[in-house]
């Protein structure tokens, strides 16, 4: 009986240590974040990471802006996004230093309306992080006959 009493705390301590290790390992395993899950299809399409980060930044920005409520970039536009490594500032209006500017055509829906608008989207990236976004309506000129 005495040996059982002496080994009881030892067994309890071992079980406690094992559960702490199990709990800490469960906390440190990486689960894919929403960005990885939502844009994994772009990675499978071999879209460059800066372009994927720009699409994600536009999605977040459009959700917060009062003008637009939805933003869509067709797959072919994402695949043909222009990456300009020679530009050192985002724009003349917003002179943020950047490493590259990514431009692509997209569509945005004006909040409260049902019509989609063609837009030119520009995204500035510095050291792998998106530092600036802009959407400019791209209106087709009307042909007068």
Q: What is the pLDDT of residues 17-63, one digit of tens each?
A: 555 546 544 444 444 444 556 888 888 899 999 999 999 999 899 88
Does 9 share its domain with 79?
Answer: no
Does 25 share its domain with 39?
Answer: no
Name the pLDDT band for 4 (thresholds 50, 70, 90).
low
Dihedral of CA atoms 21, 23, 28, 33 in degrees, nearest 10, equals 160
pLDDT at 27: 46
pLDDT at 20: 55
67 alpha carbon, distance to own chain's centre: 20
DSSP SS3 for 112: coil
Does 41 share its domain with 86?
Answer: yes
pLDDT at 69: 87
Dihedral of CA atoms 56, 123, 134, 97 in degrees, nearest 10, equals 130
114 alpha carbon, distance to own chain's centre: 26
* Cβ 137 vs Cβ 119: under 8 Å: yes
Does 20 share its domain with 87?
Answer: no
Give the 3-state DSSP-derived string for 47-67, with helices as H, strands as E and coil as C: CCHHHHHHHHHHHHHHHHCCC
Does 17 share its domain with 62?
Answer: no
Does 43 share its domain with 96?
Answer: yes
Query: Is 143 a domain residue?
Result: no
* Cβ 98 vs Cβ 131: under 8 Å: yes
Count the domains in the chain. Answer: 2
* Cβ 138 vs Cβ 119: under 8 Å: yes
Does 78 share its domain with 8?
Answer: no
pLDDT average, residue stretch 88-106: 89
Question: Residue 14: which domain range?
Answer: 1-30
**Strands in 24-140 per DSSP E:** 68-72, 82-84, 100-110, 116-126, 129-137
* Whether the predicted pLDDT of 96 surpasses 80: yes
- Percent of the chain beyond pLDDT 70? 71
- Percent of the chain beyond pLDDT 90? 32
Does 5 share its domain with 68?
Answer: no
Phi then psi dihedrals of residue 35, to 5 deg: -65, -45
Query: Is 125 a domain residue?
Result: yes
Query: Is 61 a domain residue?
Result: yes
* Whether the predicted pLDDT of 8 surpasses 70: no
Lowest-pLDDT choice from 13-27, 104-118, 119-133:
13-27
């Amino acid at each position: 009986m005495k040996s059982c009493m002496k080994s009881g705390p030892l067994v309890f301590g071992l079980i406690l240590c094992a559960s702490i290790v199990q709990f800490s390992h469960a906390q440190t395993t990486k689960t894919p974040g929403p960005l990885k899950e939502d844009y994994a299809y772009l990675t499978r399409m071999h879209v460059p990471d800066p372009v994927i980060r720009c699409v994600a930044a536009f999605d977040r920005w459009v959700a917060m802006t009062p003008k637009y409520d939805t933003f869509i970039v067709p797959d072919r536009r994402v695949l043909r996004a222009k990456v300009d490594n020679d530009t050192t500032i985002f724009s003349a209006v917003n002179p943020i230093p950047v490493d590259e500017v990514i431009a692509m055509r997209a569509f945005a829906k004006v909040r409260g309306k049902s019509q989609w608008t063609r837009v030119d989207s520009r995204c500035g990236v510095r050291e792998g992080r998106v530092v600036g976004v802009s959407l400019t309506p791209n209106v087709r000129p009307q042909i007068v006959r």
